[in-house]
Amino acid sequence: MSDVVTPPTSPVSRERAKEIKRQSVISTARQVRVLSRAELTELTGLSPATLTPLVRDLIAEGYLIERGPGASRAGRPRAMLEFNPRAELVAAVALEPSRISCEIADSDGEVIAHRTARLAGDIVETVCRFIPELVGDGLSALRGVAIAAPGVSSGGAVRLAPSVGLVEGRPIGETVQRRLGVPVVVDNDVNLMAAGEHAAGAGSDVADLLLLHVADGIGAGLVLDGQVRRGAGGAAGEVGFLPLDPAGHGHDGVGPFEDRWSENAIAERLVALRPGRRPDNPVGALVELARTDDAVAAYTDEVLRAWARLIVSCVCVVDPGRVLLSGAAAQLDDPAIARLQALVAEAAPASTDVRRAVLGDRAVLHGAISYALSAAVSGLPALLPTP
């Protein structure tokens, strides 16, 4: 009696195999933009018999648009297919101490809708209301969401963000993902600023950079080998907690360094030096007053030396090559930046270029769009930063 040999089963289900081929067609069309069916066959390696129903489905879904015939070297002109960037929409959300901003962009990164409003009520409820309202009839085309929060993010949960009411870890990413049914990325706002400057700003020409953001607190976003680095617990870049100054005392989620050298601390010291109304732009006022006031000039040098210590400490560990000054730090004038550059050069073990970030308030949303597009292009069911 002969043995019956059972053919091995494929480790990939038929549905999954079809989805892989579908994503291959979408990815190829997204890169080439306009191409014929024959070119699509050649570039994907799929047979015409396999490709025909896939293309038909993608035309029906709006991913591909049939165009007129293109040029042909021989024979009759071929009908062309064009990728439709509006078939994939992403949402970028920025949470700030007093407001929430949301943008909808297509897969080319072109913003097609924007809304900013006062932050009130539950954050998840607000996000899940804003996005569908902005997307409108295009909700079925939504492929990913990125949320920027001023705190530590790990696995889609946010903590140490008291300015937006998120102190303990709350899984806002998981909740929004479940409600909207698309991949959700949640990350620290400074990480997203770094991603934005790397994608479209002052760091677009380098693979490694550190963005130093000075505001109510002090944080850093780190890009190495073209990727944002978050650390094992999502706290990479929380440089405001570095114990670089014995006089600094952290409290209630505020680190010892930022307690003494943040925008708030500078504003308080300025008022002490020059009694009066608190300046709207403390660092800009500091630089301006330092030109005529010796006491303010001496304090300005203290600030620059403190920030230089912080930068050098980071350079000693990660050697980013370029440091971008963001937030209040970007208000330094050219002489002050030159002074900061000189202080860093004196003490750093490696050459470090110090310059201003250029995107300003737009950096977070640029980074969020980049994140959300990555989630959409990956085709993964979820893309949450994890430890």
Write the pLDDT tens digit of every residue in 208-248. 999 999 998 899 999 999 999 988 877 888 899 998 877 76
- Residue 148 β-bridge partners: 94, 187
State the CB neighbour count (10 A cutoff) for residue 111. Answer: 13
What residues contact 208, with CB distance under 8 A and at least 6 apart? 223, 224, 225, 318, 319, 320, 321, 322
- Residue 105 β-bridge partners: 90, 111
Cα(217)–Cα(255) distance, integer angstroms: 8
pLDDT at residue 160 greater than cutoff 70: no
Q: If you search the block for the tokens 């049914």, which residue do you land on?
A: 181
- The boundaries of every CATH 1.10.10.10 domain in the chain are 14-83
The residue type at 289 = L
The residue type at 152 = V
The predicted model gives 239-268 an average pLDDT of: 85
Give the pLDDT score at 12: 59
Task: Please give the mean pLDDT across all residues of the chain.
Answer: 84
Cα(232)–Cα(386) distance, integer angstroms: 8
CA distances from 309 to 344, 347, 387 (A): 8, 8, 28
With a pLDDT cut of 90, the percent of the chain lying above it is 48
Q: If you search the block for the tokens 């960037």, which residue do you land on?
A: 85
Residue of 171, 91, 179, 90 lying closest to 128 (CA atoms) = 179
DSSP of 80-136: EEEE-GGGSEEEEEEE-SSEEEEEEEETT--EEEEEEEE--S-HHHHHHHHHHHHHG
Cα(373)–Cα(108) distance, integer angstroms: 9
pLDDT at residue 337 greater than cutoff 60: yes
Q: How far is CA 160 from the centre of its chain?
A: 19
Residue of 5, 9, 7, 28 lying closest to 17 (CA atoms) = 9
pLDDT at residue 75 greater than cutoff 70: no
The residue type at 331 = Q
pLDDT in tens, 15-69: 888 888 988 998 899 889 999 999 999 999 999 999 999 999 999 989 999 987 7
The predicted model gives 105-117 an average pLDDT of: 86
The predicted model gives 165-171 an average pLDDT of: 54
Give the pLDDT score at 170: 63
pLDDT at residue 110 greater than cutoff 90: no
- The boundaries of every CATH 3.30.420.40 domain in the chain are 87-193+363-378, 207-357
Q: pLDDT-based confidence at 385, cuts 50/70/90?
A: very low
Give the pLDDT score at 383: 38
In CATH, what class is 87-193+363-378?
alpha beta
Cα(368)–Cα(147) distance, integer angstroms: 7
For the domain covering 14-83, report its CATH number: 1.10.10.10
Give the pLDDT score at 370: 79
Domain 207-357: CATH superfamily is ATPase, nucleotide binding domain (3.30.420.40)
Higher pLDDT, 7 or 156: 7
